[in-house]
Structure 1
Amino acid sequence: MLTANGKGVWEKAAKDYAQGVLAPVFYNSDSEAPKNNAVTSNVDTHSYKASDDKLNSVWKNLSSDTRKRLLPAQREWIKQKSDCNNEQKCLTDMTNNRIRELESENGK
């Protein structure tokens, strides 16, 4: 199988791996781009859903005092999510950052 520029998929994947690229990369021609974008979108959506589920779990596990203290910041964070324009990667990154912030607050 060849990429759009004629390089073999395995050759390109090996080069990426040697450079430290460990995330899945799709090497398809332009004619396959719509199908490829759908696959990427499904992966991103799944990642965001998993992150969002974890965020909800972390929030629920905070003490009630901590949740009360963080509620204004949480509401502001929710408003800021609209800056992502529903782009799944952006939402996932924001959510993962928020998880780390909330986990660091746990026990304070």
Structure 2
Amino acid sequence: DIDGPKEICESVWDSVFKYHVDQDFDQDIKNFKEAVLRFWDTHPDDRAAMAHHARNALDGFRPEVIREEWKKVFSSSEIRARGEFSIAEIEKRKKLGQRERGEEIYGYSKS
């Protein structure tokens, strides 16, 4: 059984050898054995293509991709028009917040 985020599972469904995980240990062994046999009965070129597809299906969930998507959201004109926050403004506010936290913790200002 494939468990996890639906967006990932559905995108690799045809690229993995699925089997039902059973609480009955003997049945679970049988189910896993059948999946392994399906794996070995699949042509090596097909297995390689399946592995390649499964790895590529995760590309959209890599941290660097997600970071760039968030940057697009924060710098979009609609967001800027409503909140007037650019990436530079967010960074500036972040630094101000760090300085204010330092003042609260240590009781002095760096300015």
Q: Do these two structures clear the TM 0.5 threshold for a shared fold by scoring above it?
A: no
Larger Rg: 2
TM-score calculated relative to the size of structure 2: 0.30
Relative contact order, higher structure (CA 8 A, sep 6+): 1
